[in-house]
Amino acid sequence: MGIDRVRWGIVATGNISTQFTHDLALLPDDAVVAAVASRSEESARKFAAEFGIPNAYDDYRRLIDSGEVDVIYIGTPHPQHYAIARTALQAGVAVLCEKPVTLTAAQAKDLIALAAEHRTLFAEAMWMRTNPVIQAVFADLERGVIGEPQQVVADFAFHKPALPARLLDPALGGGSLMDGGIYPMTFAYLALGRPAEVKAVGSLNQDGIDLNVAMAWRYDSGAVAALTCGLRSQNPWVASISGPDGNLQLPHRFHHPEYYVRTTASGAERIDVPTHGRGYHYEAAEVIRALRQGLIEVPALPHAGTLEILELLDETRSQIGVRYPGDDDDLSG
Ligand SMILES: NC(=O)c1ccc[n+]([C@@H]2O[C@H](COP(=O)([O-])OP(=O)(O)OC[C@H]3O[C@@H](n4cnc5c(N)ncnc54)[C@H](OP(=O)(O)O)[C@@H]3O)[C@@H](O)[C@H]2O)c1
């Protein structure tokens, strides 16, 4: 594909779309934001004015059909991801979609199949995977600096007196697991792979939204992972991977840290890895690289990882009793 500057279309004008669009400006030679779409004309115009975007639409579909973009970034609540991604892939427009890409593994599987059918790139915006600090940690693990990993511990819980409404609304895919739990799960998955056994407990509110979740994963190798997420506590928000020869520790907001601590027989060492921006341009750069190579899958954001995490989310939700509208939809037809 002879792409010069990749033309991005931003779908939705909320919190994360704003963060992501700020970071795209860090790739001036490779990316241009060509269009934005919102459900409201006023929001689309305001967002376009803020970022100097030439085209603004009051309808997501019109942006997809405009012919003005090579790739869309989807920043809506989770339940809306599937239909928007589907429409784009069918139109041959590449998709980078926020996490979790869908509510169920069946939906993710369908999108991956559609990407293959239409030879169109599809990726989940699991930005933690492309963070340089995280990559350095997993490079250490790969080099065997702590030996064979035996334990992973990670938590992702925060509390605000006024939580964003979508986090407590079942119709918007609310709950801590889908929003935050996906990070400790992905962290453990990157360290240890897919577990052989998963056990989860959760405390739900009266609307069936999970406010506190604890997960225990077991591996045939003998390794285990202990993972939590929640919306009611100010957690350390840290992660670690430990083996017989030491451990790798990630500090507060472990999914986009500024450094990590490597502890081995020679002592504890703080490793600073230079990062810049908010951290979203790293995933965007990977998408651009893949588009230029004509790929339909971004190597750093692999389809198999997206699908397996969604399968683990399905299983965890089933164990703790969290259900969403559409969970039983039959996608086979
Ligand atoms: N990667 C990260 O660091 C990160 C961080 C936070 C969230 N996320 C993910 O990003 C997604 C959005 O989160 P957010 O925090 O940006 O949410 P948000 O601030 O509420 O923004 C979501 C936007 O989606 C659009 N939208 C479409 N249908 C909607 C509906 N029925 N109700 C409400 N909004 C609707 C709205 O934009 P328009 O009105 O312009 O159409 C809204 O502003 C979630 O899937 C979340 O998991 C990722």
What ligand 1 atom has the least distance to the C-alpha of 125? 1
What are the structure tokens assigned to 80, written together? 């809306």
**If we measure between CA atoms, which residue out of 174, 169, 223 comes closest to residue 195?**
223
Q: What is the pLDDT of residue 330?
A: 78
Paired residues of 36 in beta bridges: 10, 56
Ligand 1 centroid – CA 201 distance (Å): 27
Which pTM value belongs to this model? 0.97
Ranges of H-type helices in 182-302: 182-192, 281-292
Atom of ligand 1 nearest to the CA of 126: 1
| Residue 203: closest CA among 166, 177, 184, 169 | 177
Domain boundary assignment for the chain:
6-128+279-301, 132-272
Ligand 1 atom, smallest distance to 99 CA: 47
Q: How far is the CA of 75 from the centre of ligand 1 (A)?
A: 5
Q: Which of 60, 98, 102 to mutate to test the pocket of ligand 1 (most atoms within 8 A of CB)?
A: 98
- The closest of 311, 297, 305 to 96, measured between CA atoms, is 297
pLDDT score, position 1 = 45
Cβ atoms of residues 89 and 111 within 8 Å: yes
According to CATH, the topology of domain 132-272 is Dihydrodipicolinate Reductase; domain 2 (3.30.360)
Q: How far is the CA of 329 from the centre of ligand 1 (A)?
A: 23
pLDDT of residue 331: 84
Q: Which CATH superfamily is domain 6-128+279-301 in?
A: NAD(P)-binding Rossmann-like Domain (3.40.50.720)
Closest Cα to atom 37 of ligand 1: 12
| Tokens read off for 332 | 């086979």
Per-residue pLDDT of the chain (333 residues; tens, 9 = 90+): 446 899 999 999 999 999 999 999 999 999 999 999 999 999 999 999 999 999 999 999 999 999 999 999 999 999 999 999 999 999 999 999 999 999 999 999 999 999 999 999 999 999 999 999 999 999 999 999 999 999 999 999 999 989 999 999 999 999 999 999 999 999 999 999 999 999 999 999 999 999 999 999 999 999 999 999 999 999 999 999 999 999 999 999 999 999 999 999 999 999 999 999 999 999 999 999 999 999 999 999 999 999 999 999 999 999 999 999 888 887 876
Mutate to test the pocket of ligand 1, among 16, 163, 177 (most ligand atoms within 8 A of CB): 16
User: What separation in Å is there between the alpha carbon of 80 and the centre of ligand 1?
Assistant: 9
Torsion sign (Cα): 313, 315, 318, 319: negative
For helices 41-51 and 15-24, give the axis angle rounded to 10 degrees. Answer: 30
Q: How far is the CA of 77 from the centre of ligand 1 (A)?
A: 4
Report DSSP letters for 53-106, one per residue.
-SEEESSHHHHHHTS--SEEEE-S-HHHHHHHHHHHHHTT-EEEEPSSSSSSHH
Pocket test for ligand 1, best of 62, 166, 169, 176 (most atoms within 8 A of CB): 166
Asked whether 245 and 265 are in contact (CB, 8 A), the reply is: yes
Atom of ligand 1 lying closest to residue 166 CA = 20
Where in the chain does DSSP place strands (E)? Answer: 6-11, 31-37, 55-57, 71-74, 94-97, 122-124, 151-157, 197-204, 210-218, 224-230, 239-243, 246-250, 259-264, 267-272
Amino acid at 187: F
Q: State which ligand 1 atom lies nearest to the alpha carbon of 78.
A: 45
Residue listed under structure tokens 């921006």: 277
Which of 10, 11, 15, 18 has most ligand 1 atoms within 8 Å of CB, for mutation?
15
Q: How far is the CA of 98 from the centre of ligand 1 (A)?
A: 9
How big is the chain, counted in residues? Answer: 333
Testing ligand 1's pocket by substitution, the residue of 76, 87, 163, 185 carrying the most ligand atoms inside 8 A of its CB is 76
Contact residues of ligand 1, CB 6 A cut-off: 12-16, 38-40, 43, 75-78, 80, 98-99, 125, 127, 164, 166, 172, 179
Indicate the SS3 state at residue 285. Answer: helix
Q: How far apart are the C-alpha atoms of 108 and 311, rounded to whole Å?
A: 9
Question: Cα-flanking dihedrals φ and ψ of residue 27, to 5°?
Answer: -120, 55
Contact 88, 72 (CB under 8 A): yes
Separation of first and last alpha carbons in the chain: 32
